[in-house]
A and B are shown apart, each in its own frame.
Chain A
């Protein structure tokens, strides 16, 4: 169990090797077709491998940060979202993963989550704010366990490797086909032998087929890893129902087939592009429906053996988990279900408010609290000096950093803290600055104007 769960490892290896062969073969054939006599074959292979290596370098070292910034993800700390942070910690302990991943939140109402990061130091778990709003603690635990399962099984690294090969194949095929289309006339006017024509025809056929084949391989691998992560999640949480009910809740949000970022789609826990039952060779995720049914068919056990049995029963296919993992698995039973009280409206409201506050802080709102207990959010850059409370009518001054007593022009601003909780105030440039309960430094630098503000 402390080893990563092993799916038919041989099968994964065959798929990866198949893709590599496809890449090299495509390079060789295209090289041969372009320059049959000038060692084009070797040059083609060389170019294909070089392209693959460059893409891999970019993806492996910059890919995560590019992806997170494209998605608008913000890194959070324990004080920002204690429950999310705690749940991740719990799953790191349960999985024996070792190092805590960094946690990011994407301000997006659609519930979803993904795991990224090739190495232990760069691991990331990312959730949308919609997920935090929609799920209760057990469900959130299930989803986080699924993402930690991806990390434990080494999926991000594998998917980067395969994704990059897929990208290289598509790129080479595209360049060749376009080049052929525009420059075809020139080449055909030259004298060419039968072998060369055959090479060109083969190259064109492969350039058309290879991207499709590669995509199918990539997706087959991706679907498989989803099942494995589900099995891991059941094992870690000892509570498959948590993930099952989370998947149900999440999939309801996508039944309209909402638009989403194509690049990120395969990474998410539920594919946002994949409406309803549209599942075939070209889907990155197995049908959510099947995943839920498998999790619910585990019959009180939570071991890999139980998941494998449920998988075989529901899908009718051979098992998805490797023999060695199954043999090393110890029988484990689910923890008893927590009293399944229907979620009260209060709980949903307070969760929603927590998420709203989290997003507000991430967006740079100034958060203040009226003496009567009403929370007031001031948008960044607002110039109001004070705001009347909507409930009790008290006038609440917007907290601002004050110039220090010996007022010189460049003298740093000061802000006096009240209490230990979350606190926010405005810099004199209007930018809002948030202090977390964990903030202990003596000063804070304004993100917009760069002024240093002393905090007492």
Chain B
């Protein structure tokens, strides 16, 4: 009789342990998946920034042929790009990329004055690529924020916060829209 009771209790405890282990494993995997998605989204931002850097030399070359008198603006874009490529810390990079965005939009406003340039197929192609890269950058930031938000919520809410605390899952910082210029980035019309 007591033997049967012990067996039932042992079975119950065993079952309980199994359920707990499964739940912990599930939450742990969920956190890892979330964190990977966040990292992927962050990497996507890098990809797009790199792409923008790659587009600029071609763009400057093309514009140079038509707008010789705009050396100052062109030089501004070139040096902003160099600063962005060379920036070391994350903060310096964010600042440099912001500068580059502004230099580029100045250049693009300027091209409105050159109808011949606006009829150049090569330029139109570059313009589309640049517009799209700016869009992708904005969407990548948006996707990163969404992913980081989901991940952060998981690290902060019960019960997954217990797992997160014990296994070193730290919340990721979100992109803050620091100024109006940055918020407008996705709709810069070139």
Contacts and interface: CB of A to CB of B under 8 A. Distances in A.
Asked if A and B bind, the verdict is yes
Interface of A: 1-2, 82-83, 86-87, 89-91, 93-96, 137, 236, 238, 328, 330, 335-336, 338-339, 421
Given A94-B143, A96-B41, A421-B121, 18 more contacts: A1-B147, A82-B125, A82-B129, A83-B128, A86-B131, A86-B135, A87-B132, A89-B132, A90-B135, A90-B139, A96-B37, A96-B40, A96-B147, A236-B139, A328-B150, A335-B186, A335-B187, A338-B189
Interface string B101-136: 000000000000000000001100100110110011
B124 to A, nearest CB: 8
The 3 A-B pairs with the shortest beta carbon distances in the complex, nearest first, are A86-B132, A94-B139, A1-B146
18 contacts: A1-B150, A2-B34, A2-B150, A82-B125, A82-B128, A82-B129, A86-B131, A86-B132, A89-B136, A90-B139, A94-B143, A236-B139, A328-B150, A335-B183, A336-B183, A336-B184, A338-B187, A421-B122
Give the interface SS of chain B, mostly helix, strand, loop or mixed. helix
Contacts of A421: 121-122
B86 to A, nearest CB: 26
B129 A86 contact: yes
B126 to A, nearest CB: 10
Interface string B174-190: 00000000011011010
A227 to B, nearest CB: 21
Given A2-B150, A83-B128, A330-B146, A93 B136 contact: yes
Nearest to A1: B146
A387 to B, nearest CB: 21
A142 B27 CA distance: 35
Contacts of A236: 139
Contacts of B132: 82-83, 86-87, 89-90
B44 A93 contact: yes
Interface residues of B, number: 28
A330 B142 contact: no
A2 B132 CA distance: 22
Given A83-B128, A90-B136, A93-B44, A336 B143 contact: no
A421 B187 CA distance: 29
A1 B152 CA distance: 13
A83 B143 CA distance: 21
B35 to A, nearest CB: 12
Contacts of B131: 86, 137
B140 interface: yes
A338 B184 CA distance: 9
Give the interface SS of chain A, mostly helix, strand, loop or mixed. helix
Interface string B129-165: 1011001100110110011011001000000000000
B129 A339 contact: no
Nearest to B149: A330
Nearest to A437: B125
B146 A238 contact: no
Contacts of A93: 44, 136, 139-140, 143
A93 B136 CA distance: 7
A69 to B, nearest CB: 30
Contacts of A83: 128, 132
Contacts of A335: 183, 186-187
A93 B129 CA distance: 15
B92 to A, nearest CB: 25
A231 to B, nearest CB: 15
A238 B131 CA distance: 17
Given A336-B187, A338-B189, A96 B143 contact: yes
Contacts of B37: 2, 96
A93 B145 CA distance: 12
Q: Determine which residue in B136, B140, B153 has the highest number of CB atoms from chain A within 10 A of its CB, and name it.
A: B136
Contacts of A82: 125, 128-129, 132
A236 B140 CA distance: 11
A371 B40 CA distance: 47
Nearest to A93: B139
Contacts of B150: 1-2, 328
A91 B139 CA distance: 8
A93 to B, nearest CB: 5
Nearest to A373: B119
Contacts of A87: 132
A36 to B, nearest CB: 48
A40 B135 CA distance: 62
Contacts of A330: 146, 149
Q: Determine which residue in A89, A236, A339 has the highest number of CB atoms from chain B within 10 A of its CB, and name it.
A: A89
A2 B33 CA distance: 11
A335 B138 CA distance: 11
Nearest to A82: B128
Nearest to A85: B132
Contacts of B187: 335-336, 338
B128 A86 contact: yes
Contacts of B183: 335-336
Contacts of B147: 1-2, 96
